[in-house]
Amino acid sequence: MHSWQPRFRKLLRPLRSGHTILLIAVGLVVVIMTADLLSPSDIVLGPLLVIAPALTAWFEGPWTTAGVGVLALAAEAVIGWHSGLLATRDIAVQLIALTLLILLIVVMCVVSERRGRQLAQVRSVAEAAQHVLLWPLPARLGSLHLASLYLAAEDEAEIGGDLYAAARTEEGVRVLIGDVRGKGLPAIGEAALVLGAFREAAHQHVTLPPLAAALEQSVARYLTDFEPDEEAGERFVTALLLEIPDDEPVVRMTSCGHLAPLVLHADRTVTQPALTPAPPLGVGMTGPDAYSVDVVPFDSDATLLLYTDGVIEARDRHGDFYPFTERTVQWADSTPRTLLQHIQRDLLSHTGGRLGDDVALIAIQRVHTPRPGIHPQEASSSAGTATAEE
């Protein structure tokens, strides 16, 4: 199916209501037949009858298309009978040609419908796999408000490798966002591995560098066992690890080749911290010493916006990239959920509803700014709120 066909169908989708397409097709048959009957004998409009079943095939199934085709053949026969040429070679050739064209249209309709069902099934499986891998982030985790968004690219329903997760620890919340190079089953395998390793290791390591080293070890072991020979050294995972302590107004970050987050401020300004990057997971780094920790201020007046490269590489029909930073700053004072809703609508509007790569986003806000000597649970209780535990 050509890439322009879904957009064309979407443009004409309102015509489908109330069997409008069927009425239009029947109307075309009647109009063409009537015009031919009223025209001089040297004007032949019968071959135009093939337009009716061709139009029907765009929106309806093979049975409806075949029915309109039979009606078109009957109209051609009426034209031949009215002109007194029904038994002649010319009308016979026109009827045979029209029959063959209608049969071809019906066969193409059957193939298209079957392929559509297969693609829908593949997409359903892909969505189910994504839901199994990407557990929805809770709206409240410890002293944080969170929201997450995953937008899958539509090209052939291929499953991308964008991933995210969050874990509540004794000291705060740890968050992971990442992007596996590639698509399909290999990407799913690596994404599942990284997510599983993070959910376990997030509770076992005191700081982020040992956590990053543990993830690197898991990915390297997986690639050693399962990486195809033709892709040796070409598979990796970019990742960003965050640690948001309950008792300090900061966020600690370790970047493994991933994009730095945006920090949106209530005064509608935006900053992007300069992180010390380490290579992506899977390229052979060993030990915690290979990773750095960057500390960035983070209080209740700010929103952390984590994202994958699918959002900044999204293009409109003119080839212009989505102006991510410029657009998000106008919603800096929104809640995490509202912020991601704005971005989703604006991004899909920019791209015309089609994405070339998967997009993952996480928005994080503090419920309150930590104060020295006061545990966040006590502060939450005094404010009349409850702290949600994972």
Run means of pLDDT, 10 residues per run, the chain, 390 residues = 48 56 89 88 82 88 90 88 76 87 92 86 74 84 94 64 92 95 75 92 95 93 71 79 95 96 93 93 83 95 95 92 95 95 96 88 89 46 32
To the question of domain 137-382 being in CATH 3.60.40.10, the answer is yes
For 167, 172, 197, 248, 373, the CA distances from 243, given in Å and listed in that order, are 10, 7, 16, 11, 20
∠ Cα 74 77 81 (to 5°):
140
* pLDDT on residue 152: 79
Instruction: Supply φ then ψ for residue 133, to 5 degrees.
Output: -75, -50
* pLDDT on residue 13: 54
Domain boundaries for CATH 3.60.40.10 within the chain: 137-382
pTM for the predicted model, two decimal places: 0.69
Q: What is the DSSP letter of 257?
A: B
Sequence-ordered strand ranges (E) for 13-171: 140-141, 144-151, 162-168
Name the burial class of residue 79, with classes exposed (0-12), middle (13-18) and buried (19+) by CB atoms within 10 angstroms of its CB: buried
Q: Which amino acid is at 196?
A: G
Residues 163-218 have pLDDT tens digits of 999 999 988 999 999 999 876 667 788 888 999 999 999 999 999 999 999 999 99
* pLDDT on residue 160: 66
User: For residue 284, which of 211, 220, 214 has the smallest C-alpha distance?
Assistant: 220
Residues 244-273 have pLDDT tens digits of 999 899 999 999 999 999 999 988 899 999
User: For residue 358, which of 312, 306, 304 has the smallest C-alpha distance?
Assistant: 312
Per-residue tokens: 116? 């559509």
